[in-house]
Homo-oligomer: A and B are copies of this chain.
Amino acid sequence: MEEVKKEESKKVAKITRVAIVGYGNLGKGVESALQAREEFELVKIFSNRSGLKSPFGTEFELTKHIENYAKKIDILFLCGGSYSDIEKIGPKTIKLFNTVDSFDTHAKLEKYITSLDKMAKKSLKVAVSAGGWDPGLMSMMRLIFNSIAPTHTPANAFWGAGVSQGHSDALRRIKGVKNAIQYTIPNASVVKKCASKFDYVPKSTEKHFRECYVVLEEGADANAIKEQIINMPNYFLGYKTTVKFITEDKLRKMQEKMYHKGYVVKNFKCSDKFATKVSFNLDLESNPYFTAEIMVMLGDAVKKLSSEKKYGAYSVFDLPLSYLTTVDRSTLLKTML
């Protein structure tokens, strides 16, 4: 009887207690992905909304009460819906919890991770940040491919066909636009050139087409808005951009589909002589549910780093690959190397 108790307490000690902050598509994806993982116990879902229900029976709590759970939760998966959410909640939660986020504003990543690192070291916590499919998995491929024969042209990345959240947001910020969605479509002829020519460098504006679907506010000037879109610097200017005006009903149906694709390719000649191509393909029916899988994978890294007291904020570039799995090193070397 004593022995059984010891066994049980050992098992309990090994399980990591986790929670989700934010219950949009991403939060739901993390909840679902966690169901298959024995090493994690999902304790709570935090949301600003009350009255939510989970298909898995997970308990909810209002996010404003999160500090009460400091000693009851080991890792938080930050699944805030918008960019600003993560920037606000990340620095707040790292004081009390280890965290995983998929913050994806590329221009802000370095600054965010650097500042989060200082905070995490101070509070003796671990954060893995920017861990989704891009930034995240695609970033890993870019770094690996670019590190091979690094004096050659860097790898080319393509996205889509799929929805760009950033570009959709940019459309929605235009006065007179009620709602909008933007599909990023890779330019097939440029993809082909990158995959067939050595060290080919396309212009960034020719790599993708941009398809905008816009619902107008009543009385808005369609032509003026179209002009504003196609001339928006950084987002649409220079790109082959189409703008279609549709009904809100149609748009809502489009927003339900969450597929996306990614492609990274590097095509060069080893020693300027031997044709060499490395490529990575990603094909997703659900962008948020796959992002969720990557976040949960990084939860394993947070668990390991925290148990080794290696406090700080990490990107996917800072992690040995063996930290991504619960499989022990000896088995990895025997079965996967």
- Enumerate chain A interface residues (CB-CB to B < 8 A): 29, 32-33, 35-37, 106, 109-110, 113-114, 130, 135, 137, 139-140, 142-144, 146-151, 270-271, 273-286, 289-290, 292-294, 297, 300, 315-322, 324-327, 329-330, 332-334, 336-337
Is the beta-carbon distance between B142 and A336 smaller than 8 angstroms? yes
Contact A283 B275 (CB under 8 A): yes
Contact residues in B for A148 (Cβ distance below 8 Å)? 137, 293-294, 297
CA distance A278 to B280 in the complex (A): 7
> Within the assembled complex, what's the spacing in Å between the Cα atoms of A168 and B320?
34
The 6 listed contacts between A and B (C-beta, < 8 Å) are A149-B293, A150-B297, A271-B289, A317-B322, A317-B333, A318-B322
**Copies of this chain in its oligomeric complex:** 2
Among B275, B317, B332, B336, the residue within 8 A (CB) of A332 is B317
Q: A-B pairs with the 6 shortest C-beta distances? A: A274-B286, A32-B271, A147-B324, A110-B333, A274-B285, A270-B289
Would A149 and B325 be within 8 Å (CB), given that A139-B336, A142-B336, A270-B289 are in contact? no
Task: Please indicate the chain B residues that have their CB under 8 angstroms from the CB of A143 in the complex.
Answer: 321-322, 324-325, 332, 336
Find A279's partner among B110, B273, B275, B280 (CB 8 Å cutoff).
B280
Q: Specify which chain B residues have a CB less than 8 angstroms from the CB of A273 in the assembled complex.
A: 32, 286, 289
